[in-house]
């Protein structure tokens, strides 16, 4: 058991408490502690090749399962690359989808 908790451990604990079982993302230095926390909490990480794909996968998971879909991307270019995936949340005839999708990214310091 770890004696020190990092912010990533706390993020993973909250995600698990909310019923998250899968997280979609692209690894990067800013999110490595979150990914470590996911492993500790038993949340499966689906590593993608692009941040936009991570967001679209999270939305698809949320839409078809009704469970929270989470995309975790690194700061800086990762956040910018994730933006094009957000229009997948918009559905014709509605402003926003009812899918419980979340995008998380750390701040660069």
Give the pLDDT confidence score for residue 25 in this predicted structure.
92
User: Per the domain annotation, does 76 fall within a domain?
Assistant: yes
What are the tens digits of pLDDT across the range 83-96? 777 666 565 555 55
CB 74 within 8 A of CB 26: yes
User: Per the domain annotation, does 1 fall within a domain?
Assistant: no
User: Per the domain annotation, does 63 fall within a domain?
Assistant: yes
CATH number at 85 reads: 3.40.50.970
Q: Domain containing 53: what range? A: 7-104
Compute the distance between CA of residue 106 and CA of residue 73 in angstroms, rounded to an integer.
8
User: Per the domain annotation, does 68 fall within a domain?
Assistant: yes
Query: Which region among 7-16, 34-43, 56-65 has the lowest average model confidence (pLDDT)?
Result: 56-65
What are the tens digits of pLDDT across the range 34-52? 999 999 999 999 999 998 8
User: Per the domain annotation, does 98 fall within a domain?
Assistant: yes
- Pick the more confident residue, 80 or 96: 80
User: Per the domain annotation, does 2 fall within a domain?
Assistant: no
User: Per the domain annotation, does 18 fall within a domain?
Assistant: yes
Q: Which two tokens stand for residue 90?
A: 């918009």
As for how many domains the chain has, the answer is 1
Nearest residue to 39 (alpha-carbon basis) of 54, 22, 55: 22
Secondary structure class of 7 (helix, strand, coil): helix
User: Per the domain annotation, does 24 fall within a domain?
Assistant: yes
Nearest residue to 108 (alpha-carbon basis) of 74, 66, 59, 81: 74
DSSP 31-84: GHHHHHHHHHHTPEEEE-SSHHHHHHHHHHHHHHHSS-EEEE--STHHHHHHGG
């Amino acid at each position: 058991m770890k004696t020190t908790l990092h912010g990533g451990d706390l993020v993973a604990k909250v995600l698990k408490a909310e019923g998250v079982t899968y997280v979609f993302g692209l690894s990067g230095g800013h999110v490595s502690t979150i990914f470590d926390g996911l492993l500790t909490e038993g949340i499966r990480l689906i590593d993608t090749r692009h941040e936009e794909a991570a967001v679209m996968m999270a939305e698809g998971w949320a839409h078809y399962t009704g469970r929270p879909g989470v995309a975790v991307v690194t700061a800086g270019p990762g956040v910018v690359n994730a933006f094009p995936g957000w229009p997948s949340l918009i559905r014709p005839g509605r402003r926003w989808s009812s899918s419980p999708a979340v995008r998380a990214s750390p701040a660069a310091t």
